[in-house]
C-alpha cells in the first residue's frame, strides 16, 4: 500500500485550495478540505489493520533529499506502532475536526484559506510523525509551527490575534533553536540523523550518564518543551486560543502540542542514556501540570481554561516519559487527544451558538438548551478529570502508578500528579457547573447541526471507550509491567477525582461553601489575580526579555549609527550652503578670484625662489 | 634687416605691463565687449613675450607660437562675439553681472 | 636711435591700451586698441620678427578688430550705452581689481629682476618661420586648424540660433 499517499493527500488538497485562492465553490472547498483528511484517515485505518495483522515495521524511502559528503538525509517514512498510533490520532481526530469545521467556519469569508492551512497542518504533522530521520522530522516540526502561526492569526484583522500568533511562533522558536542545536550535536557526534541507526550508534558509543547524551537530550528537550508548551515556554498556548476553536482542538490540544511528547518517545533510547534529563522531564511535567491546573482554576475564558488544562495534561505526559513509562505517556496522549478535542469542539459549539461569547460567567443554564453539547462536555470533563471507567482514568492511572514506582523521587512525583488530578477535577467541573447549570445568562440563537453534533458524539464514544484500546506499542518501548499493583495507591487515585468533583459541586453548584467570601478577602483577591495572570509569568518574561528587546529595538529605531552618517550629511550640506555664497554667477567675480589665486601662487613661488 | 639690442628685461616688462592692463580691464569692465577686448590685450601681451624670447635666441619658435596664439585669439573672438549677440538677445543687456544664472 | 624707437613704441602701446580699456564708448576703445596693436607690431618689427609684425597688422588689427566693429554695430549701443558705461566706471569699482593687477605686475617685475639678457638682434625671416611651422610644429598646426574649425562651428551655431529664434517671433 502506498504509505506516501497518507501525507500527500492533505498536501495536495492544501495546494489545490491555495491555488484556487477562494474562487472554488464553498461546498467543493469543504469537501476537498475534509475529504482529503478523511481519505487519509481511511488509508491509515487500512495501514493500521495491516500492521495489527502482521506487526511488521514498514519503511518507505521516497528519494534522497540531499547528498552532502556523508550527510545524506532521505525523504523516507518509518511506520511502527508508535507512528500508527500518532497517525490514527492525527487523521482520525483530524477528520472529525475538519468535519466539524465545515459548519463552524461556514459563514467565514476565508473558508478556503482555513481549509488550506488545516490540510497543510495535517500534512506537516503526518510528516513529523512518519519521518524516518530527525531532519525530516524537523521539517514537519517547523511546518506545523508555521501552520500554527497562520491559524492562530487566522482572523488577522484584529491586531491582538496577530500578536498572539507572533508570540506562539517566537516562543516555540526558542525551543526549536535548542532542538536544532541538538540535531547538530547528534550529527557531529554520531554521524547520522536516521533515527534507528542513531539509536544504535548512541547505545554503542555512549554510556549511561555520559555528558554528551545529557547535553543532546537536554537540547532536544528544549524543543519538546517549546512545542508542547511546558514550563518555562508554556506562555504561548493560552494566547494561541485567539485562533478559531477547531484549530485549538486540532493543533493546540490533540496533535501539535503533543509533538514534544512524540519526540521524546521516539528518541527514548537516547533519553534512557541520560538519567538527569529524564528526571528533568519528570519534574518539568509535574511543575507544569500543577502550575497550569492552578491557573486554570481562576480563568474565566472558556478556551483559556481548556488551554491551561491542555498544558496540564501534557505535563502528565511528560511525567510519564520522565519516569520511563513511555507507553503510558503515548496512551495518555491518545486519550487526551480524544477528550480534549471533544472538550474544545463542545466549547466551540457553545461559543458558536452564543454569538462568540467566551466568558463562562455570561453563560450558564445551557444544560437544557444545548443538550448534545452538554452531554459531550460532561463526558469530556469526566474523562479529563479521570473519573473511573472513562478513557482518561485508565491513562492517568497508569501514569500515576508508574510515577509511584519510581525509586526515591517517585512518591513526590506521584503526590504532585495526584494534587494535579484533584485540581483538574475541580476546574473541569467548575467549568461544567458554571456553563451548563445555574441561571441562563445568554440565550443560544441556534443549535449545532449534524456536522457539529456528529463529531461530538463520535468523540464522546472515543473518550468513553478509548481506555480499552490496546496500543500496538509493545514492539516499540521496553516492557515495564506493573509487578505488584499497589491497591492503596490505586484506591487513592480513583478517589481523588471524585473528591474533586465533590469539592467543585460544593463550591460552584451547591454553594454550600462560599467561594465568593474567600475571594472577597484581600488574600483571595491577590491569589485570584495571581492565578488569573498565569502566575505572572508573562509579566516576568515581558520584563526580562520582551521589554528590553523592544526598548533596544526602539533605540535602534532612532538609528544611532545613522546619526553618524547624518552628521556627515549635515556637515557636507552646511559646507555646501557656505560655499554656495562663492557661487555668485558673476563672471568678473570669478576672474577676480582667479587673479587672486594667481597672485598668491606667484607670491609663494617668489618666496621659494629667493 | 637686423634686430635691435634691447635688454630682454625691458621687453618682458612691457609684456607684463600690457598683461596687467588687460587683466585689470577684465576685472573692471562689466560690459562683455570690453572684457573680450581685455582678453585680446592679454593674449597679445603673451604673444609679445614669446616673440621677444624667439628674438633672443634667433629662433623661429617664438613666432610660431605667436601664430598659434593668433589662431586661438581668432577662434575665441569668433565664439565670444557670437555669445555677445546671444547675451544681448537673452538678457537685453551686455552687463555680465546681470547674466548670473549660474549663481548657486 | 633704434633703441629709443623701441621705447617710444612701448610707451604708445601701454598708453593706448590703458586708454582703450578706460573708454566708455566701445568704438573709441576699439580705435585705441588698434593703435595699441599697431604699436606692438612695430615692436615685433624692431625685434627682428617681420612676419609676426605683418600678421599682427593683417589679422589682429585688421580681421579680429573688424569683427568687433561688426558686432558693436549690430548691437547698436548708442548714447545711452555710453552713459551707462561711464556710470559703471566709478572709482569704487576700481579698487579691488586695481590692487590685484598692481600686485600681479609687482610680482612679475620682481620675477624679472634677475634676467638682464639682451634680445639677440638676429632677424628671423618668414621662410624660417614657415619651415619651423610645418616641420616640428605640424601637429600644433593641425590642432589649431581644428580649433579654428571649432570656433567657426561655434560661431555659426550661436549665430544661427539667434536667427531662428528671431524668426519664431
Q: Under DSSP, is residue B60 helix (H, G, I), strand (E, B) or coil? A: coil
Q: In degrees rounded to 5, what are phi and psi of residue A452? A: -85, -45
Interface touch B23/A579, C-beta < 8 Å = no
Average pLDDT, chain B: 85
What's the pLDDT score for residue C83? 74
Mean pLDDT of the region A360-377: 82
pLDDT at C1 over 70: no
pLDDT at A355 over 50: yes
Which string of DSSP letters, residue by residue, matches A224-241? HHHHTT-TTS-THHHHGG
Interface touch B100/A591, C-beta < 8 Å = no
Residue in B with minimal Cα distance to C7: B10
CA distances from B99 to B24, C25, C157 (A): 20, 21, 20
Q: How far is A598 from chain B (nearest CA, A)?
A: 11
Interface touch C152/B11, C-beta < 8 Å = no
Of A579, A583, A588, the CB nearest to B103: A583
pLDDT at A568 over 90: yes
Give the number of B-C residue pairs with CB atoms closer than 8 Å: 270
For B:46-85, CB contacts with C below 8 A are 47-48, 51-52, 54-64, 66-68, 70-79, 81-85
Closest CA to A424 of A288, A517, A521, A257: A288
Residue in A with minimal Cα distance to B39: A591
What's the pLDDT score for residue A482? 55
pLDDT band of A74, cuts 50, 70, 90: confident
Measured CA to CA, the distance from residue A180 to residue A26 in angstroms comes to 40
What's the pLDDT score for residue C116? 56
Residue in B with minimal Cα distance to A584: B103
B97 touches chain A (CB under 8 A): yes
C144 touches chain B (CB under 8 A): yes
Q: Under DSSP, is residue C118 helix (H, G, I), strand (E, B) or coil? A: strand
More confident residue, A389 or C134: C134
pLDDT at A479 over 70: no
pLDDT at B88 over 70: yes
Of B4, B63, B72, the CB nearest to C119: B4
B24 touches chain C (CB under 8 A): yes
- Partnered with residue A301 across adjacent β-strands are A359
Question: What cell was used for C117?
Answer: 639678457
For chain B, helix, strand, coil in percent to 5 are 75, 5, 20
Per domain, the residue ranges of chain C are 2-124, 125-169
Average pLDDT, chain C: 80
Average pLDDT, chain A: 86
Interface touch B55/C88, C-beta < 8 Å = no
Which string of DSSP letters, residue by residue, matches A98-149? HHHHHHHTTT-TTHHHHHHHHHHHHHHHHHHHHBSBHHHHHHHHHHHHHHHH
Q: What subunits touch chain A, counting only 3 or more CB pairs under 8 A?
A: B, C
Closest CA to A346 of A331, A360, A329: A360
Q: What subunits touch chain B, counting only 3 or more CB pairs under 8 A?
A: A, C
What's the pLDDT score for residue B75? 92
Q: What is the DSSP letter of A75?
A: E
Of A581, A585, A591, the CB nearest to B101: A585
A361 touches chain C (CB under 8 A): no
What's the pLDDT score for residue B70? 92
Closest CA to A293 of A262, A316, A271: A316
Of B48, B77, B85, the CB nearest to C158: B85
Q: In degrees rounded to 5, what are phi and psi of residue A2? A: -80, 100
pLDDT-wise least confident of A32-46, A257-271, A479-493, B38-52: A479-493
For A:306-345, CB contacts with C below 8 A are none
Q: How far is C127 from chain B (nearest CA, A)?
A: 9
Architecture per CATH, domain C2-124, reads as Up-down Bundle (1.20)
* pLDDT per residue as tens digits for the range A497-547: 888 888 888 877 766 666 667 777 778 777 777 777 777 888 888 888 888
Mean pLDDT of the region A464-483: 73
pLDDT band of C120, cuts 50, 70, 90: low
Residues 6+ apart with CB under 8 A from C130: none
pTM (two decimals): 0.67
Question: With contacts defined as CB-CB under 8 Å, which chain B residues touch C155?
Answer: 78-79, 81-82
- Partnered with residue B95 across adjacent β-strands are B31
Residues 6+ apart with CB under 8 A from B58: C120, C122, C124
B41 touches chain C (CB under 8 A): yes
Q: Decide: residue C151, CB within 10 A, 0-12 exposed, 13-18 middle, 19+ buried.
A: buried
* pLDDT per residue as tens digits for the range A182-227: 999 999 888 888 888 888 888 888 888 888 889 999 999 999 998 8
Q: Decide: residue A407, CB within 10 A, 0-12 exposed, 13-18 middle, 19+ buried.
A: exposed
Amino acid at each position: 500500500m502506498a504509505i506516501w499517499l497518507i501525507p500527500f493527500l492533505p498536501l495536495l488538497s492544501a495546494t489545490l485550495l491555495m491555488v484556487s485562492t477562494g474562487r472554488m465553490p464553498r461546498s467543493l472547498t469543504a469537501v476537498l478540505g475534509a475529504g482529503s483528511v478523511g481519505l487519509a484517515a481511511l488509508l491509515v485505518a487500512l495501514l493500521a489493520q495491516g500492521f495489527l495483522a502482521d506487526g511488521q515495521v514498514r519503511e518507505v524511502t521516497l528519494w534522497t533529499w540531499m547528498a552532502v559528503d556523508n550527510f545524506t538525509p532521505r525523504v523516507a517514512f518509518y511506520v511502527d506502532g508508535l507512528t500508527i498510533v500518532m497517525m490514527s490520532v492525527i487523521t482520525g481526530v483530524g477528520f472529525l475536526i475538519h468535519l466539524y469545521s465545515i459548519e463552524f467556519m461556514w459563514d467565514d469569508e476565508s473558508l478556503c484559506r482555513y481549509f488550506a492551512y488545516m490540510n497543510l497542518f495535517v500534512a506537516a504533522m503526518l510528516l513529523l510523525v512518519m519521518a524516518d530521520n530527525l531532519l525530516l522530522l524537523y521539517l514537519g516540526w517547523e511546518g506545523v509551527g508555521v501552520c500554527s502561526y497562520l491559524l492562530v492569526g487566522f482572523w488577522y484583522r484584529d491586531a491582538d490575534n496577530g500578536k498572539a500568533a507572533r508570540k506562539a511562533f517566537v516562543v516555540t522558536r526558542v525551543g526549536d533553536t535548542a532542538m536544532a542545536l541538538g540535531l547538530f550535536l547528534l550529527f557531529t557526534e554520531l554521524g547520522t540523523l536516521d533515527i534507528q541507526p542513531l539509536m544504535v550508534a548512541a547505545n554503542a558509543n555512549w554510556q549511561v550518564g555520559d555528558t554528551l547524551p545529557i547535553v543532546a537530550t537536554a537540547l532536544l528537550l528544549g524543543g519538546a518543551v517549546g512545542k508542547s508548551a511546558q514550563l518555562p515556554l508554556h506562555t504561548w498556548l493560552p494566547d494561541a486560543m485567539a485562533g478559531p476553536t477547531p484549530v485549538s482542538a486540532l493543533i493546540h490540544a490533540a496533535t501539535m502540542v503533543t509533538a514534544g511528547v512524540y519526540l521524546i518517545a521516539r528518541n527514548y533510547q537516547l533519553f534512557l542514556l541520560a538519567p538527569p534529563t529524564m528526571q528533568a522531564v519528570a519534574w518539568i511535567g509535574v511543575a507544569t501540570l500543577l502550575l497550569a491546573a492552578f491557573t486554570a482554576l481562576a480563568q474565566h475564558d472558556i478556551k483559556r481554561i481548556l488551554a491551561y488544562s491542555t498544558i496540564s495534561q501534557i505535563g502528565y505526559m511528560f511525567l510519564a516519559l520522565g519516569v520511563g513509562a513511555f507507553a503510558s505517556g503515548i496512551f495518555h496522549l491518545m486519550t487526551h487527544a480524544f477528550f480534549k478535542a471533544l472538550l474544545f469542539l463542545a466549547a466551540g459549539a457553545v461559543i458558536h451558538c452564543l454569538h462568540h461569547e467566551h466568558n463562562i460567567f455570561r453563560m450558564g443554564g445551557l444544560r437544557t438548551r444545548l443538550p448534545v453539547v452538554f452531554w459531550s462536555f460532561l463526558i469530556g470533563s469526566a474523562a479529563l478529570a479521570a473519573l473511573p471507567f472513562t478513557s482518561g482514568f485508565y491513562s492517568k492511572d497508569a501514569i500515576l502508578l508508574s510515577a509511584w514506582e519510581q525509586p526515591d523521587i517517585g512518591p513526590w512525583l506521584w503526590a504532585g500528579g495526584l494534587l494535579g488530578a484533584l485540581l483538574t477535577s475541580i476546574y473541569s467541573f467548575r467549568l461544567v457547573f458554571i456553563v451548563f447549570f445555574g441561571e441562563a445568562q445568554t440565550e443560544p440563537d441556534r443549535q449545532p447541526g449534524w456536522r457539529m453534533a456528529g463529531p461530538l458524539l463520535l468523540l464522546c464514544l472515543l473518550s468513553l471507550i478509548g481506555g480499552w484500546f490496546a496500543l500496538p506499542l509493545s514492539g516499540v518501548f521496553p516492557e515495564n509491567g506493573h509487578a505488584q499493583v499497589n491497591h492503596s495507591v490505586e484506591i487513592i487515585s480513583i478517589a481523588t477525582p471524585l473528591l474533586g468533583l465533590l469539592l467543585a459541586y460544593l463550591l460552584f453548584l451547591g454553594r454550600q461553601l462560599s467561594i465568593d467570601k474567600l475571594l472577597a478577602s484581600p488574600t483571595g483577591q491577590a491569589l485570584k489575580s495571581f492565578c488569573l495572570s498565569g502566575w505572572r509569568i508573562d509579566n516576568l518574561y515581558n520584563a526580562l526579555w520582551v521589554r528590553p528587546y523592544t526598548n533596544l529595538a526602539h533605540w535602534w529605531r532612532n538609528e544611532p549609527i545613522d546619526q553618524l552618517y547624518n552628521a556627515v550629511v549635515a556637515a557636507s550640506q552646511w559646507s555646501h550652503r557656505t560655499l554656495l555664497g562663492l557661487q555668485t554667477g558673476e563672471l568678473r567675480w570669478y576672474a577676480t578670484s582667479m587673479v587672486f589665486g594667481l597672485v598668491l601662487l606667484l607670491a609663494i613661488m617668489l618666496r621659494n625662489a629667493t | 634687416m637686423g634686430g635691435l639690442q634691447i635688454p630682454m628685461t625691458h621687453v618682458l616688462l612691457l609684456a607684463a605691463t600690457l598683461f596687467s592692463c588687460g587683466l585689470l580691464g577684465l576685472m573692471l569692465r562689466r560690459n562683455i565687449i570690453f572684457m573680450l577686448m581685455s582678453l585680446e590685450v592679454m593674449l597679445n601681451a603673451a604673444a609679445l613675450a614669446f616673440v621677444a624670447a624667439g628674438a633672443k635666441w634667433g629662433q623661429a619658435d617664438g613666432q610660431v607660437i605667436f601664430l598659434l596664439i593668433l589662431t586661438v585669439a581668432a577662434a575665441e573672438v569668433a565664439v565670444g562675439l557670437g555669445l555677445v549677440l546671444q547675451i544681448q538677445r537673452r538678457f537685453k543687456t551686455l552687463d555680465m553681472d546681470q547674466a548670473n544664472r549660474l549663481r548657486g | 636711435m633704434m633703441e629709443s624707437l623701441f621705447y617710444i613704441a612701448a610707451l604708445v602701446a601701454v598708453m593706448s591700451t590703458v586708454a582703450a580699456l578706460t573708454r566708455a564708448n566701445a568704438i573709441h576703445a576699439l580705435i585705441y586698441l588698434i593703435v595699441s596693436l599697431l604699436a606692438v607690431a612695430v615692436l615685433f618689427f624692431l625685434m627682428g620678427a617681420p612676419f609676426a609684425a605683418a600678421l599682427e597688422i593683417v589679422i589682429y588689427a585688421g580681421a579680429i578688430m573688424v569683427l568687433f566693429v561688426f558686432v558693436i554695430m549690430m548691437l547698436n549701443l548708442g548714447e545711452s550705452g555710453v552713459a551707462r558705461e561711464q556710470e559703471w566706471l566709478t572709482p569704487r569699482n576700481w579698487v579691488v581689481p586695481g590692487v590685484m593687477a598692481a600686485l600681479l605686475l609687482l610680482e612679475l617685475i620682481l620675477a624679472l629682476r634677475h634676467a638682464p639678457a639682451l634680445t639677440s638682434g638676429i632677424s628671423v625671416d618668414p621662410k624660417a618661420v614657415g619651415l619651423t611651422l610645418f616641420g616640428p610644429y605640424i601637429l600644433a598646426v593641425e590642432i589649431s586648424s581644428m580649433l579654428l574649425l571649432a570656433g567657426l562651428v561655434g560661431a555659426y551655431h550661436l549665430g544661427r540660433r539667434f536667427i531662428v529664434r528671431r524668426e519664431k517671433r
